[in-house]
């Protein structure tokens, strides 16, 4: 029987993927240790509907301390698709002593899971959630998998690239089927509260000015959550060990995105500018050609449509 393992299943992207798989009728085991990087009650809400589904099992376990517990929950004869989304996210906090958290949850945890997957066998695919942060500040845009040399600009990006390289070498050395998907600024319902649109919308709903780091002319290739989840599902069958960008279609300046948000919310939005933060990059721009060629993936949700979904979600959850 085919089974799915989703790590980081209570997070923004992991919980949305878990719900999608359960809606498809799949059997899913989720792992999440409910780190308190942001309010844990948000994660409990994210996973609430999955928890009442008999096809879902939640394991509140820490991937960074080993996976001995896992084999007793997954039948050895099952074919397994692993979606590895657990990580310590966020660029800005990855400096200083907090870097240890990033190496633990992004590198050690990934290596533990790869070892487990290799020794277990029977893996249909190991799909890793990588990031546009691995690219840093390239001289030429768009960021293209076979042309842009990945030189991260933040400690977070370094750990995401290290884990992506680990995935690649388990494929090259041990033949583990895999795909790494480089997500570009994901937004929509359940977006993490530390991310820009979530902060902007909550401030605007409270009638407050929104805080922008830098001059607002930085560009981001915003990607709607359903497009990301669609890419994750397509990646189940992409087993060659490729790294592919999942982004594109909504590359705008931050100022433009705020104008779009003001239009969607039907209100004026004030802005308070402050200095950009260490590790922030001026631009992200994905070439999505490889994901199109390999998996037939194409983003389909416009910024206006996606933002209105996120506004509605925050309105209904406040
Ligand atoms: N959100 C984005 O825009 C974005 C962009 C690029 C890449 N990514 C990647 O996508 C993945 C999901 O991101 P997200 O925004 O949903 O983050 P999130 O913080 O909402 O979810 C990550 C989850 O992983 C869990 N976790 C962390 N360390 C763990 C460990 N050692 N053991 C078990 N669980 C652990 C956390 O408790 C959390 O619930 C991450 O790998 C992130 O690096 C996200």
- Each residue's pLDDT tens digit, 294-307: 999 999 999 999 99
Ligand 1 pocket, mutate which of 10, 13, 232 (most atoms under 8 A from CB): 13
C-alpha 243 – ligand 1 centre gap (Å): 18
C-alpha angle 140-150-288 in degrees, rounded to nearest 5: 65
Q: What percentage of residues in the chain have a pLDDT greater than 70?
A: 100
DSSP 75: -
Q: What mean pLDDT, rounded, does the chain reach? A: 96
What is the enclosing helix (H) or strand (E) of 124? strand 123-131
Decide if pLDDT at 24 tops 80: yes
User: 260 CB less than 6 Å from ligand 1?
Assistant: no
C-alpha 73/C-alpha 229 separation (Å) is: 25
Q: Residue 318 — very low, low, confident or very high, per pLDDT cuts 50/70/90?
A: confident
Give every CB contact of residue 293 below 8 A, 6+ residues apart in sequence.
none
The mean pLDDT value for 11-19 works out to: 98
The CA distance from 186 to 226, in Å, is 9
Distance 14 CA to ligand 1 centre (A): 7
Pocket of ligand 1, candidates 62, 86, 92: which has the most ligand atoms within 8 Å of its Cβ, to mutate? 86
Q: Say yes or no: CB of residue 43 within 6 Å of ligand 1.
A: yes
Q: How far apart are CA 146 and CA 276, in angstroms?
A: 30
The residues that bridge with 2 in the sheet, in sequence order, are: 79
Tens digit of pLDDT for each residue in 107-123? 999 999 999 999 999 99
Output the residue whose Cα is nearest ligand 1's atom 43: 89
- Report how far residue 109's alpha carbon sits from residue 22's, in angstroms, rounded to the nearest whole number: 25
Estimate the crossing angle of helix 225-235 against helix 12-23, to 10 degrees.
60
Kindly report, residue by residue over 175-225, the tens digit of the pLDDT.
Answer: 999 999 999 999 999 999 999 999 999 999 999 999 999 999 999 999 999
Q: How far is CA 142 from CA 220, 221, 230, 248, 305, in A?
A: 11, 10, 22, 10, 24
Q: What is the DSSP letter of 283?
A: B
Which atom, in ligand 1's list, is nearest to the CA of 192?
20
pLDDT digits (tens, 9 = 90+) for 65-102: 999 999 899 999 999 999 999 999 999 999 999 999 99
Domain residue limits, the chain: 2-185+224-247+285-300
Q: Is residue 154 pLDDT above 90, yes or no?
A: yes
Query: Is residue 249 pLDDT above 80, yes or no?
Result: no
The catalytically annotated residue of 37, 135, 156, 224 is: 156
pLDDT for the residue numbered 250: 83
- List the beta bridge partners of residue 220: 252
> Which CATH number does 2-185+224-247+285-300 carry?
3.40.50.720
Q: How far apart are CA 292 and CA 107, in angstroms?
A: 28
- pLDDT score of 248: 79
What is the model's pTM? Answer: 0.98
Verify whether residue 156 is a known catalytic residue. yes
């Amino acid at each position: 029987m085919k089974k799915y393992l989703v790590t980081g299943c209570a997070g923004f992207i992991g919980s949305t993927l878990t719900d999608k798989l359960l809606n498809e009728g799949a059997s899913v085991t989720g792992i999440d240790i409910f780190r308190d990087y942001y309010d844990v009650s948000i994660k409990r809400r994210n996973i609430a509907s999955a928890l009442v589904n008999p096809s879902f099992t939640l394991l509140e376990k820490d991937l960074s301390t080993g996976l001995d517990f896992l084999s007793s929950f997954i039948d050895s004869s099952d074919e397994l698709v692993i979606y590895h989304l657990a990580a310590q996210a966020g660029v800005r906090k990855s400096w200083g002593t907090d870097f240890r958290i990033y190496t633990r949850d992004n590198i050690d945890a990934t290596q533990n899971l790869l070892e487990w997957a290799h020794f277990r066998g029977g893996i249909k695919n190991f799909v890793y959630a990588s990031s546009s942060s691995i690219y840093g500040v390239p001289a030429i845009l768009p960021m293209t998998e076979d042309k842009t040399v990945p030189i991260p600009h933040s400690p977070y990006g370094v750990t995401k690239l290290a884990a992506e390289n680990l995935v690649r070498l388990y494929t090259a050395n041990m033949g583990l089927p895999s795909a790494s998907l480089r997500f570009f600024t994901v937004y929509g319902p359940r977006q993490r509260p530390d991310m820009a649109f979530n902060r902007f919308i909550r401030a605007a709903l409270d009638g407050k000015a929104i805080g922008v780091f830098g001059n607002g002319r930085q560009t981001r290739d915003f990607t709607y959550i359903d497009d990301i989840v669609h890419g994750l599902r397509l990646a189940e069958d992409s087993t060659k060990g490729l790294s592919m960008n999942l982004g594109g279609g909504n590359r705008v300046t931050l100022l433009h995105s705020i104008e779009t948000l003001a239009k969607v919310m039907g209100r004026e939005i004030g802005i308070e500018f402050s200095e950009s933060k260490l590790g922030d990059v001026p631009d992200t721009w994905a070439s999505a050609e490889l994901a199109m060629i390999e998996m037939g993936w194409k983003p389909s949700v416009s910024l206006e449509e996606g933002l209105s979904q996120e506004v509605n979600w925050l309105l209904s959850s406040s």
